Each structure stands twice: as structure tokens, then as C-alpha cells.
Amino acid sequence: MKAPIRLIIADDHKLFRQGLRSLLLRHRDMQVVAEIESSAALRSTLDATDCDVLLLDLQMDRWLLGDVAELSRLTKILILTANETMENAVMALRSGARAIVQKRFAIQTLIEAIRAVAEGLVWMPPTLQAEIASQWGSSSARQLTDREAQIVSYVAGGLRNAEIASLLAIAESTVKTHLNNVFQKLEIRDRVELAMYALRHGLIAESDPGNKT
């Protein structure tokens, strides 16, 4: 049996933490290993606790955006935010966070995001994808073919190779070949860096089958 995803909830609102913990523990593949109510305890708790994903509210007892880069070296970070403009969420992604989930979303959306992040993917809602595309433009990188750009957009949306192959009606090995070519052209090492490249260059479609809210 696969080990559960070990989670830490970092939020200074006790009722929110308790409610979220209760909802998460309904899923057998989730385990809440710690709760953090103060920004001062973030580093020490991460150092002392084995954690797969940190669920982090950027706006705790102080503003934590500047801490994301350092914390992301210790674990994968999923940002929980009540911010509707998403400007700070975008900055958090660029600093090393792996996912953005607004607190108003249904718990199932959060569950999907946690599972994606635990597997090493980058996850974000279609609304954020659209905002990023509008900020950085919709033109794709010139060195990518149309098919490569299409595959990059699906990877950035959180789809796996098999899912991309099914959508495009091509072999999974063909998807892998395209991705290897993309990695070489862009000098990118993994899917996380590729997702961030897609963000910067507007290569994420406004409506993506990999992200359902």
C-alpha cells in the first residue's frame, strides 16, 4: 500500500486549521503530521518533521512571501490564499511554490492539488492560468514547434504523459520524445521548471482538462 502524503498545515486561524484537518483526514492517502500557528515555528517544524507538502497561508502573523524560496528547499509548498487578485500568488510560484489554491474552492480541488504537488507537478486553477497568460503575453517560444508548445501547456496544467498521449491520440513514447526535445532546446531539467517556463511565456491554455475546479 502506498504511504500517505504527509502534510503540515500552516495557518494562524485555529478554526480553519481544525476544519481543514478534519476534511483532509477523510482521505486515506492524506496524513496531517503537524500544524503551525506562528511563522516563527515554520523552519523548526519543517526541520523536525518529515513532510511531503506544506499547506501555507502567506498571510499569517506576518507576510511570508519572502520566505517561500527558503522554505521550498525543505519541502513542496502549496499556497492557500484568500487573495482574489492573485498577484502575490504569482510571485509565490516564481519563488518556488508548487501550487495555488484559493480558500473559497471546494475541498476536492485542494485534494487534487495536493496529490499533484506530491507527485512533483505544478498545479494552479484555470483562472490563475488566464491571468498569467494575460500578464506575460500569449506568444509561445519561437524555438518550440506547435506540437511541443501544446505538450508543454498540458504538462504545466498537471497532466501526465499517458493523459497527454490519450488527448493527442499519439503514443506515450512520442510524448516523451517531444519532452526530451523541449528540455534540450530550453535547457530545462524537469517538469517543474518547464511549468514555470510555461507561466512566463503564456503557454498555458485558459481552459485545461488537467485542472478542474
**Structural domains present in the chain:** 5-122 (3.40.50.2300), 131-200 (1.10.10.10)
The pLDDT of residue 5 is above 70: yes
Tell me the C-alpha distance between 156 and 70, whole Å.
23
pLDDT category at 105 given cuts 50, 70, 90 is: confident
**Cβ(72)–Cβ(80) below 8 Å:** no
pLDDT tens for residues 192-203?
778 777 776 767
Output the pLDDT for position 194.
83
Tell me the C-alpha distance between 156 and 139, whole Å.
16
Distance from the Cα of residue 182 to its chain's centroid:
21
The pLDDT of residue 71 is above 50: yes
Q: C-alpha grid cell for residue 104?
A: 473559497
Q: Alpha carbon of 104 to those of 18, 176, 213: distances in Å? A: 16, 36, 11
**Cβ(20)–Cβ(55) below 8 Å:** yes
Q: Please indicate, yes or no, whether the overall pTM of this predicted structure exceeds 0.85.
A: no
Averaged pLDDT score across all residues of the chain:
84
pLDDT tens for residues 18-28?
999 999 999 99
Listed in sequence order, the residues at least 6 apart from 120 whose beta carbon sits closer than 8 Å to its beta carbon are 76, 190, 191, 192
Output the pLDDT for position 198.
78
pLDDT tens for residues 88-102?
777 788 788 989 888
